Structure 1
């Protein structure tokens, strides 16, 4: 397909970018730390690390991994942290030491955590002590031999650190009891590392930087192998797209999305480190009153989030004062991870005076594929055009390219596309094929200007607040309950999260209740995967070969939505 979008690119955006500007992510960080040494790099709970401090601390942590823990190039280091100052220190320390980063959702259940640690072969993990009890349950069944624990305030000034850590542990009681013999405290690791030299590890674009876990386009979580070249390409591609709007060394970006998620990892952390920005980390965006206070007290120039987050902010008491406090500083508001609702986008623009710019991406593409122009005057309802050095086509089920205007599966080719899935050659071949085009599993249509409209997820993927939920995994967990005979999981509309999980259950035990099903799921699934509704049935619709027809379940739910509810909400 001809790259028709190039004729309609925003002024100054090139068709191609120089993906070899930096040799590795380590090189990019070190150059930024040199150029912006005195500038603020990361801020959290009122405490700021400069680029110079980030350079020193990440060097110390990298030296600890190399010289004290004895890790070698290519070994995997898991990071199980929310948005704290420790996160970029650990991330860049591991990368500078030549390790591969495995991002872990700290809210994972023991089952989910064990799968990811075991599958990745991680030999070290850095965990916030609030979640150490989960690690305690599974660490013996993994290859992990080095555990580093940290507390929320560990990188705060001494007095504030003591106060914050005391309140969290003793007053709020947010740290369940845990025992991990041999675990090393984060600050101890930094002190030990400071006594050693960080050995320079030659890294190239071909070296793996992250095993970023995702469900791929279907199935259980898989580790997408994202190389230094993949991430650097996506940073350069996105930099070219935003180049006419932002200025190096001057921006302040608000980061409420978790850095362990690929969207925030690239669009917030890596991109804005390259630009020498101050990244304001929001540890708990669900604490809306505190989040709004942070926004009122910060003259931020950019914010990246998902539809549900923007909607929560708009409905929060006191948010109307954010625009006044911001005093016109905001330049860019970007939404991704899930479809943006027009009502939210229009209300955001009315409130903040800046359009909500929608883009599209996925883990396997590091993640950014398409974006709308940053100077857009209004919400378009589309996901924009392919970014520089990226090609997109729509294909049918047989893999044939479709003409403009026809709906098909969105397929991507570019330097940001992953190498493949970790230890899963068959799944890699299914998704990438012999031609290297990534089959995204998403449906779309491209118009004559190269602008793409997103239609829906292929098959049955449920997107809850920007996170993918896979029915197979939910069904597998529900079937683990001894009182369940059969189950089908689907996504249903939800005002807060865009979609929610609903399960249809055939009982094995007549005494089984919806509350019991939900409690079982809460013990084995991350919160956003837990069903909000349970409906009991005598039987489930099936195909001729016995496959449960989720499509019919969704249709039946929609048809009965206006009738008396049969479902039990969590």
Structure 2
């Protein structure tokens, strides 16, 4: 397609080789910066090599074993991720805001044997480690690169992150050979059953998607010259692929924002840089543009803003362009597609669309019978499509057919010019600030509360977060709302918690007894 310009990225067939190739190529250029501390590509190579060597010499981990990373956007995350990949391990990206219940499922299901954790989360993790196969725990603090002595571990047998780097620096690294088809990451995503499933992403999936994204960006992403702001969490597939892999592989500087909710601090963290790009979403664009301190920044270098995770509103695109002078290119993807499927071409954006499919990506829309339709479920085939769900062949078969077509669950229309419009979501999934909330999981937690007989959860439009979670409940007695909210806080990450509770005598149901969420949404 005319929008794409294939970019020479690397000949590497696996992420470990890409990492070492990239670090050698860009050497003393800055690679990652966080909290006022910057690592060059050379320093990143040395630290990730030390991390990998430590794992090889001081643990029983073998290539193919899983390691969970539970960290905010700190320098320790790229070091640990790259080090683990260089040791041949499989990454399990975990949201640090997860409750113990959510952590336990992800770590036990993946069979993770090691964990890299922010020390502040130690009490939460300690309560469920016995439910997992985790034997090696490495803890870190936000200030590890700012203090001379390493912090002690927060578990009885935990190792401090800085000790790992110090001890590993003097150890030899045994190169590990991985194939493109080998597993690189388990990216957990919700499902119709309410149980989070691990999308199996290979080295070829992730490297392939990086090449596809760069082909769409073309000369907009110059080699070794860009400065990208990273407010979205690297444990989320969006920033994981776009920033940690794609922009890194192009020799860019990624400025990590550990807490994007603190907008004034966010502005101060990016003030020293002449930023050229940012990947974000609706609520972030609007929130920043409302800040006087943000509006006063120098945007003369900004030329690339990517939106994903949730639908871009015209109001958000307009205020961003008015404030920064930069247009917003909306894209679309899924954890199951590594994630990018479509992206608006820079300078040729069509607001209200997700752009055309990336290079080497096929898209089609089908009706309920799987036949071609003008409007129907969007299906995707390409090098970025996952291998399947981890140890869930039945779930895999529901979405991935023998010809490699993945059902996205989204209703779309493909225009004559190839641009794609998302019309509606087939799934009952709720999108809160770009994060997927699956009603079944929330309903399961709600019905564990004493007195609640039935629960149905739907999304309601919200100006700040795109959607918010609303719970409709049938209960035997008056609801103890403070206790119910505390129960939700204990078992659900913040964005999954209902913001509104409505008590009903009964839930609307079909003739076969299925709860009709669409009727609740209509209310």
TM-score bin, normalised by smaller chain: over 0.9
Structure 2 equivalent of residue 531 of structure 1: 498
Note the 1:255-270 alignment, pairs <5 A.
255-270=230-245
> In 1, Cα distance between the equivalents of 2:162 and 2:427?
46
Considering only aligned residues, what root-mean-square deviation do their CA atoms show, in Å?
1.7
Partner of residue 355 from structure 1, selected from 327, 332, 348 = 327
CA shift for structure 1 position 295: 3.0
> In 2, Cα distance between the equivalents of 1:296 and 1:150?
26
Partner of residue 392 from structure 2, selected from 386, 410, 424 = 424
Distance 1:225 1:384, change over 3 A: same
CA shift for structure 1 position 472: 0.3
Q: Deviations over 1:522-549 (max 9, x none)?
A: 1100000000000111111111222211
> In 1, Cα distance between the equivalents of 2:94 and 2:422?
28
> In 1, Cα distance between the equivalents of 2:164 and 2:340?
34
Is contact 2:192-2:440 (8 Å) kept? no
> In 2, Cα distance between the equivalents of 1:51 and 1:19?
16
Secondary structure of the corresponding residue to residue 333 of structure 1: strand
> In 2, Cα distance between the equivalents of 1:425 and 1:21?
32
Is contact 1:386-1:392 (8 Å) kept? yes
Is contact 1:136-1:179 (8 Å) kept? no
Structure 2 equivalent of residue 391 of structure 1: 362
CA shift for structure 1 position 19: 9.2
Structure 2 equivalent of residue 137 of structure 1: 127
Distance 1:228 1:19, change over 3 A: farther
Is structure 2 residue 49 aligned with structure 1 residue 74? no
Task: After the TM superposition, list the runs of 4 or more consecutive aligned residues in structure 1 that deviate by more than 4 angstroms.
Answer: 17-20
Is contact 2:69-2:93 (8 Å) kept? yes
Q: Deviations over 1:406-438 (max 9, x none)?
A: 211110000110000000001111110121100
Partner of residue 495 from structure 1, selected from 463, 467, 481 = 463
Is structure 2 residue 291 aligned with structure 1 residue 316? yes
Secondary structure of the corresponding residue to residue 155 of structure 1: helix
CA shift for structure 1 position 132: 1.1
Structure 1 equivalent of residue 177 of structure 2: 202
CA shift for structure 1 position 86: 0.2
Is contact 1:345-1:379 (8 Å) kept? no
Q: Deviations over 1:382-404 (max 9, x none)?
A: 100001110000111122222xx
> In 1, Cα distance between the equivalents of 2:390 and 2:141?
31
> In 1, Cα distance between the equivalents of 2:193 and 2:371?
21
CA shift for structure 1 position 20: 8.0
Is structure 2 residue 442 aligned with structure 1 residue 486? no
Is contact 1:255-1:282 (8 Å) kept? yes
> In 1, Cα distance between the equivalents of 2:72 and 2:224?
25
> In 2, Cα distance between the equivalents of 1:249 and 1:285?
25
> In 2, Cα distance between the equivalents of 1:518 and 1:104?
24
Secondary structure of the corresponding residue to residue 208 of structure 2: helix
Note the 1:111-126 alignment, pairs <5 A.
111-126=101-116
> In 2, Cα distance between the equivalents of 1:316 and 1:513?
38
Is structure 2 residue 5 aligned with structure 1 residue 13? yes
Q: Deviations over 1:210-245 (max 9, x none)?
A: 001011566321000000000010011111111221
CA shift for structure 1 position 488: 0.8
Distance 1:57 1:19, change over 3 A: closer
TM-score by length of 1: 0.89
Is contact 1:296-1:321 (8 Å) kept? no
CA shift for structure 1 position 21: 2.7
Structure 2 equivalent of residue 108 of structure 1: 98
Where does structure 2 lack aligned partners over 5 or more consecutive residues? none
CA shift for structure 1 position 297: 2.6
Structure 2 equivalent of residue 172 of structure 1: none
Note the 1:169-248 alignment, pairs <5 A.
180-216=155-191, 219-248=194-223
Note the 1:289-438 alignment, pairs <5 A.
289-322=264-297, 325-326=298-299, 328-376=300-348, 380-402=351-373, 406-438=374-406
> In 2, Cα distance between the equivalents of 1:182 and 1:76?
19
Distance 1:336 1:108, change over 3 A: same
CA shift for structure 1 position 296: 2.9
CA shift for structure 1 position 157: 5.4
Is structure 2 residue 12 aligned with structure 1 residue 22? yes
> In 2, Cα distance between the equivalents of 1:30 and 1:226?
20
TM-score by length of 2: 0.97
Is contact 2:139-2:154 (8 Å) kept? no
Q: Deviations over 1:467-492 (max 9, x none)?
A: 00000000000001012111111101
> In 2, Cα distance between the equivalents of 1:13 and 1:386?
14
Partner of residue 542 from structure 1, selected from 480, 504, 509 = 509
Q: Structure 1 residues 48-57 or 312-321, which shifts more?
A: 312-321
> In 2, Cα distance between the equivalents of 1:157 and 1:320?
34
> In 2, Cα distance between the equivalents of 1:380 and 1:540?
38
Is contact 1:306-1:340 (8 Å) kept? yes
> In 1, Cα distance between the equivalents of 2:473 and 2:359?
47
> In 2, Cα distance between the equivalents of 1:157 and 1:256?
24
> In 2, Cα distance between the equivalents of 1:401 and 1:94?
43
CA shift for structure 1 position 513: 2.4
Note the 1:427-506 alignment, pairs <5 A.
427-506=395-474
Distance 1:349 1:379, change over 3 A: farther
Where does structure 1 lack aligned partners over 5 or more consecutive residues? 1-5, 170-177, 557-570
- Count of residue pairs brought into register by the alignment: 523
